[in-house]
Amino acid sequence: MPFIMKTPCHPSLNPPSILPRICQRVLVGLLLLALALPACATPDVATPDIDKHGAVPGRWTQDYTAAQALAKERNLPLFLNFTGSDWCPWCKLMDKEVFSTDEWEAFAPSLVLVFLDRPSGYKLPDKVNKQNAKLREQYAIEGFPTYVLTLPDGTPLDRLGATREPDPELFIQKIRNAIPADLVPKAMPAAPGRPASLGTPAAPARPAAPAANLYAPRTWTSAAGTAITASYVSYDGRAVTLRLPDGSLSRIAPANLSEADQQFLAPLIGHRP
């Protein structure tokens, strides 16, 4: 039987090892990091540029009740931003490329903006969290970002999403096209202590709607003479979106429509709320 020499396990008989010291330093580092995280975490509020209470045209608020009251008072549409602000890459892209632009800043006072967040890195107040969950269910939100444009009473007008290359002017035009012609905003009075000229100005006058009911079904005729019955949905200057009797949507370039239909669409280019 071969002779096997066993090395004693007493520390004094083994060469010194640096592993215990490395492990000790790693554990200390992790402990310090854990202690530091609460101080660096996002506070229990929305981002600083979002109002927690009340509503002002053109400013984001997380207070849906106040936003809807303001929308009814001023006869302004509601723009609901369902987002995951701290984790959703498409939401961050839209925030940067659309909602942070001069074009959006100029257009935003035409809307009452509601920021309905579902963050992962910080906690919303319970009241806000329940409100947002209820609205996600009400509007059947299945992904982020989803933007819902509604009448002051909450009736949906249109749903929008993100694109790979967001264009603020095109995004704004889609919103304008979805707002009914009879939703004319009421003037906003000047803030107390300020001259009237410093208040948010009333929206410019709308072009006259080309029909008594813009969204009622009508006959559309192609340049070749083929006729269909469909309802107008929106027009971005490049194509008109129509809703067919079966509920499906169809986009048609104006050049493919009759002269009468092109005249019908002409006032809708640049149609502002």
Which whole-number Å values give the CA distances from 155 to 19, 179, 271, in the listed order? 66, 12, 20
Residue 159's CATH number: 3.40.30.10
215 shares its domain with 106: no
Examine the pLDDT at 220 and tell me if it is beyond 60. yes
Examine the pLDDT at 273 and tell me if it is beyond 60. no
Examine the pLDDT at 72 and tell me if it is beyond 90. yes
**Rounded to an integer, what distance in angstroms lies between the CA atom of residue 221 and that of residue 226?**
5
Tell me what pLDDT residue 24 has: 65
139 shares its domain with 249: no
223 shares its domain with 165: no
Residue 186 maps to a domain: no
Examine the pLDDT at 126 and tell me if it is beyond 90. yes
Tell me the per-residue pLDDT of 3-56, one tens digit each, with 9 for 90 and over: 444 444 444 444 455 555 655 665 656 655 555 444 333 333 334 489 999 999
171 shares its domain with 86: yes
| 83 neighbors 151 (Cβ within 8 angstroms) | no
Residue 51 maps to a domain: no
Residue 12 maps to a domain: no
Residue 68 maps to a domain: yes
Predicted TM-score (pTM) of this structure: 0.55
171 shares its domain with 211: no
Q: What percent of the chain has pLDDT over 70?
A: 70
Examine the pLDDT at 66 and tell me if it is beyond 70. yes
Burial class (CB in 10 A: 0-12, 13-18, 19+), 167: middle
Tell me what pLDDT residue 22 has: 59
Residue 219's CATH number: 2.30.30.700
Residue 70 maps to a domain: yes
Q: What is the mean pLDDT of residues 227-231?
A: 88
Examine the pLDDT at 271 and tell me if it is beyond 60. no
- What's the domain range around 220? 207-268
Q: Which carries the bigger pLDDT value, residue 171 or residue 16?
A: 171
Residue 4 maps to a domain: no
How many distinct structural domains can be found in the chain?
2
CA angle in degrees (0–180, nearest 5) for 100-132-172: 30
Tell me what pLDDT residue 198 has: 34
Residue 18 maps to a domain: no
Of these ranges, 12-26, 47-61, 153-167, 206-220, the one predicted with the greatest mean pLDDT is: 153-167
68 shares its domain with 137: yes
124 shares its domain with 220: no
**Rounded to an integer, what distance in angstroms lies between the CA atom of residue 72 and that of residue 70?**
5
Tell me what pLDDT residue 34 has: 52
Examine the pLDDT at 205 and tell me if it is beyond 50. no
Q: What is the mean pLDDT of residues 191-208?
A: 41
Tell me what pLDDT residue 33 has: 57
For 229-247, b/e burial (b = at least 16 CB within 10 A) is ebbbbbbbeeebbbbeeee
